[in-house]
Amino acid sequence: MNLNPFSALTDLLGTLSNKVVPDKSKIVEGQNRINEQEVAGAPVSFLRLWRGFLGWVLALLFAWEAVVRPVVSTYWPDATLPPSTLQEIMRLLIGMLGLGW
């Protein structure tokens, strides 16, 4: 048993700080184990396939509207382009990313 009051106080403060502010590496390690167990037990589902497909399609549509379309309309002003659907694409993309309201 340690009778030094300063070391006893630092031990007590260390214990309290571990309770109040837990070690992030232990939390991340625990969450990784949980994620691995969830994925290991999950069957391959059609849901994973269509979400990935929808994500790629929306990403390509967003790239068209945000990058390619302005370049085409700038360098080839006579080009006939369909009406912009950026608002609809953004609404779907933001909803899929979980950033919507």
CA atoms of 43 and 33, how far apart (whole Å): 18
pTM equals: 0.52
Q: What is the DSSP letter of 35?
A: H
Query: What is the tens place of the pLDDT at every residue in 65-101?
Result: 999 999 999 999 999 999 999 999 999 888 888 886 6
